[in-house]
Every structure is written in structure tokens, then in C-alpha cells.
Amino acid sequence: MKSALFLLFVTIVSANFETNPDVTHLTDVNFQTWRQEHPQSFVLFYAPWCGHCKAMKPAFSEAASTLPGKFAAVDCTKEPVACRGQAPEGYPTMRYFSTATWSDKDEFEGGRDANSLVKYVQGRLGVAE
């Protein structure tokens, strides 16, 4: 019974991540355009089968709602062109990009909760908490 409830919870939370308008889901088609229009961005590179990615989605979605227009996600199993050059060594990989060319990128290695994500992005943006 507990495992069924957990599975239901994960399914509901994943649906929120997928439908949250504050998380831009990048594709091979929109990746370059979005990148140029949002030079300062925090991007989650993930694989849907990854348990750590599934666990990360609720916090990422919550953080995205705090700072709209700064959070994006790429499903690397469906969008190989968008993931190419980012070379995620594992999933999830989160990176903050600070230029339109995205040559300046920092891999996020902090806490996996929404508050840690928001504080990190605010710090990179120079925004007071």
C-alpha cells in the first residue's frame, strides 16, 4: 500500500513539473532560440528513468515558480542535440549559464531542495533574497 501511494505521489509531482509554466521544457528545436533570449538560465538536464531526477522534479518546479523565466529543463533521452555539448556525466545535472552563448556555465552542486536552488540562482543573478 505504501509503495502504491508513493508511486501516485511521484506521478502527481512529475505531472506538476511537466505542466508548470515556469519550467521551460527545451527541445532540439527551441533550444538555441531560448538560450539567446534567456542568457542567464538555470537548466536541469535529466533522464525520465532516473530515480534521482524524479526526486529532483518537485524542488526544481517549486524553485522555478519563485523565479519565473530562469528555469528550464531538457530531457536528454528525447533531445540529444540540446544535450550535446553539455556533456552531463550523470543525471540530474543542473547548470547555471550566464551568457547568451552559454560558454560561461557553472555546474550546480548544492542542496537538492527548492530553497537551495532559489538561493543559488538569486546569488548568480545578484538579486537580494
Query: By percentage, how much of the chain surpasses pLDDT 70?
Result: 81
Higher pLDDT, 59 or 3: 59
Among 13-27, 47-61, 70-84, the minimum mean pLDDT is found in: 13-27
C-alpha cell at 128: 537580494
pLDDT of 3 above 50: no
Q: What is the mean pLDDT of residues 18-36?
A: 90
pLDDT digits (tens, 9 = 90+) for 57-103: 999 999 999 998 899 999 999 999 988 877 667 889 999 888 755 56
pTM confidence score = 0.82
Higher pLDDT, 106 or 101: 106
Catalytic residues: 50, 53
Measured in whole angstroms, the distance separating CA 74 from the mean position of its chain's CA atoms is 7
